[in-house]
Structure 1
Amino acid sequence: MFETPRLRLREFTELDAPFIHALVNDPDWLRYIGDRQVHSIDDAIGYLRAGPMASYAEYGFGLWCVEHRATGEAVGMCGLLRRPTLPGVDIGYALLPAARGRGIAFEAASATIERARTVHALPSVLAIVSPENAASIRLLERLGMQLVGPRALTPDTPPVLLFECSFHTRGAL
């Protein structure tokens, strides 16, 4: 779909179900993002169909598989989401533990934000993060995103921190 110097970001397919199963059951995913009830390969296929693949069909974007260009090895996901609980499109990302700390998240997220601006002509990109996820907060700040403040996505969940990267001065939150 699109590339960076080290990475390829492409749409997920059902063949990625084993990778998704591993990623969404990583302890950090469960801690900071939550349990998506993906406990089998069939569950992972359902997650892909209902999540990323449905988003591609409806919006023309979604979470993309992040893989090394040189090897084709899947190392994470990064992409754009439209959530009913947010006033705009947000960026999401997650990497397998072995891929963290190498600048991969920054490279993938930078390319995703640029794609949001140029290909999808979005006025801004939002991000939500658990207040305890210091590494992700640092990444959002490094990407040039500004803290908007805490936001409860639903009445029964704890607040998250909302960040925004605005491409135009008008229409910012």
Structure 2
Amino acid sequence: MKRLILPAILLLFLVLEGTATDFLPKEWLLSDYYIIPHWVFVFLVYIAIFYDFDYTYYCVLYGILFGFLFDLLYTDILGVYMFTYGITAYIVHGLKKLLHANMFVAILMSVVGVAMADALIFFLYSSVQGFVMTWETYALMSLIPTLLANLVFTLVLYPFVPSLLYKWSEEQLASQKAV
């Protein structure tokens, strides 16, 4: 039963991402700024830092799975979010090995990961669909507001998530040693 907790949380964030913009003020929605919630990815970063060991890659597996579900539910092109979340989670998992897991690293990795994922998504969509938005316009109108919004989400999650993920990770290690 405990194995279903992480996918259930990710599924909840996936559903809430689709309705997140409904709670923004109308003035923000009518402006030229684009705020894209990457709540699933922020939680994947937390999984990479506080749940995965050096030899486990649950963040990558969940990134591919829930990226595919995101593509299936919210986008026109299958595989963009699946590829982006999977590869970016893998990079974050690799960077985790270089840094000590604490609050500042978690926030930094979340911001860097969201920036990489969002920029890669923009690049892939602009390559496939031929967007007319320039890189400068994208950075000012979409990337910066997206980073700020996801930073707020990262800060809201931090007091609750790391201790739970660390505890679940230790329980998983203990159950693997018992087998």
TM-score normalised according to structure 2 size? 0.30
More helix by share: 2
- Structure with the greater alpha carbon radius of gyration: 2
TM-score normalised according to structure 1 size? 0.30
> Greater relative contact order: 1 or 2 (C-alpha under 8 angstroms, separation 6 or more)?
2
More strand by share: 1
